[in-house]
Amino acid sequence: MPLEIVTIPCLSDNYAFLAHDAASGQTALIDAPEAGPILAELDARGWKLSHVLLTHHHWDHVDGLAGILEKHPAKVIGAAADAHRLPPLDQQVADGDSFDLGGEPVQVLDVSGHTVGHVAYYLPKSAAVFTADSLMALGCGRLFEGTAPQMWTSLSKLAALPDETIVYSGHEYTQSNAKFAITVDPDNAALQQRMAEINHARTAGQPTVPSSLALEKATNPFLRAADPAIQAHLGMKNADPAEVFAEIRARKDRF
């Protein structure tokens, strides 16, 4: 059975996630923006935390951890490459590593770019990937530390996962990402439809995360740097997709 995954809004626009295995009772938290909403969700469901999976060191993904561990001592897992600036880790992991959660393998993917040492966690049986600030709904994280080629490699790695994979990203940025996306992919009918759905959801106060990888591949310009229509619109026909991605990212930074 796939894990039950719960989305928890935190801070002003962050998301944390719980992944729960009913058979074993194991429950993992993915990122810890703030303690209050996460502890409330655990209490409401009667779940006991067994694991915490950290994606990267930024404060809005780790600052709630101490308060959570006070009430739910759990095994903290994070990237070895980021261990020097993450909270204390019980297990350090790297690209290609795998560990068990409720009888399901969790595969570690290095997705550096937003930060160096950023990881994603892919659960193939549950068809879920937790990407935080690497691949985001209709976007990708700003390149605070890594390079454009590095981020393109990371996004290409995520795009190679099965289309049915559900992408659990770290922020509610989708509406603003959509406003930019249409400027570089204006004739994309799937994007136009998604924008309408996003606007409807946000007007109703509903989240736009998670999303499917298939939808991201059809509409997210940061995954579509090889698309001829986008390349033509940018005046970059037949360019290296990594160079096209760099141009898209630079335009988003100025948007």
Q: In the prediction, which pLDDT does 200 show?
A: 97
Is 57 marked as binding a ligand? Answer: no
Is 21 marked as binding a ligand? Answer: no
Q: In the prediction, which pLDDT does 203 show?
A: 96
Q: Which amino acid is at 1?
A: M
Can you give the pTM of this predicted structure?
0.97
In the numeric block, which tokens belong to residue 206? 């509903």
Residue 108 pLDDT exceeds 90:
yes
Q: How confident is residue 98, by pLDDT bands cut at 50, 70 and 90?
A: very high
Cα dihedral 30/113/111/75 (nearest 10)? -30
Is 61 marked as binding a ligand? Answer: yes
* 222 Cα distance to chain centroid: 14
In the numeric block, which tokens belong to residue 88? 């204390």
127, 143, 169 — which closes off a domain? 169
Q: Are 24 and 68 part of one and the same domain?
A: yes
Cβ 158 vs Cβ 220: under 8 Å: no
Is 118 marked as binding a ligand? Answer: no
Which DSSP string do the residues of 74-87 spell out, in sequence order?
A: -EEEEEGGGTTTSS
DSSP letter assigned to residue 59: H
Q: Which amino acid is at 164?
A: E
DSSP letter assigned to residue 171: B
Catalogue the active-site residues: 56, 58, 60-61, 114, 133, 171
CATH number of the domain to which 117 belongs: 3.60.15.10
Q: Which amino acid is at 32?
A: A
Q: In the prediction, which pLDDT does 1 show?
A: 85
Q: Please give the Cα distance from 122 to 130 (Å, whole number).
A: 6
Is 84 marked as binding a ligand? Answer: no
| Widest pairwise Cα distance in the chain | 55
Beta bridge partners, 106, equal 99
Q: Are 164 and 52 part of one and the same domain?
A: yes
Residue 158 pLDDT exceeds 90:
yes
Using CB atoms within 10 A of its CB, is residue 236 exposed (0-12), middle (13-18) or buried (19+)? middle
pLDDT tens, 51-83? 999 999 999 999 999 999 999 999 999 999 999
Structural domains of the chain, count: 2
Q: Are 78 and 11 part of one and the same domain?
A: yes
Please state, rounded to an integer, the average pLDDT across all residues of the chain.
Answer: 97
Q: In the prediction, which pLDDT does 143 show?
A: 97
Domain that holds residue 34: 4-169
Q: Are 88 and 147 part of one and the same domain?
A: yes
Q: Are 73 and 58 part of one and the same domain?
A: yes
Q: Please give the Cα distance from 164 to 39 (Å, whole number).
A: 30
Is 31 marked as binding a ligand? Answer: no
Q: Are 109 and 151 part of one and the same domain?
A: yes
Kindly report the backbone phi and psi dihedral angles of residue 132, in degrees, each rounded to the nearest multiple of 5, phi listed first.
Answer: 50, -115
Q: Are 130 and 146 part of one and the same domain?
A: yes
Q: Please give the Cα distance from 99 to 93 (Å, whole number).
A: 9
Is 56 marked as binding a ligand? Answer: yes
User: What's the rounded mean pLDDT across residues 109-130?
Assistant: 98
Residue 163 pLDDT exceeds 90:
yes
Q: Are 10 and 117 part of one and the same domain?
A: yes
CA angle at residue 111 from 110 to 113, to 5 degrees?
A: 130
Which position has the token pair 């935390």? 49
User: What's the rounded mean pLDDT across residues 83-111?
Assistant: 97
SS3 98: strand
Q: Are 187 and 155 part of one and the same domain?
A: no
Q: In whole angstroms, how far apart are CA 18 and each of 40, 166, 198, 218?
A: 12, 14, 24, 27
pLDDT tens, 121-154? 999 999 999 999 999 999 999 999 999 999 999 9
Residue 206 pLDDT exceeds 90:
yes
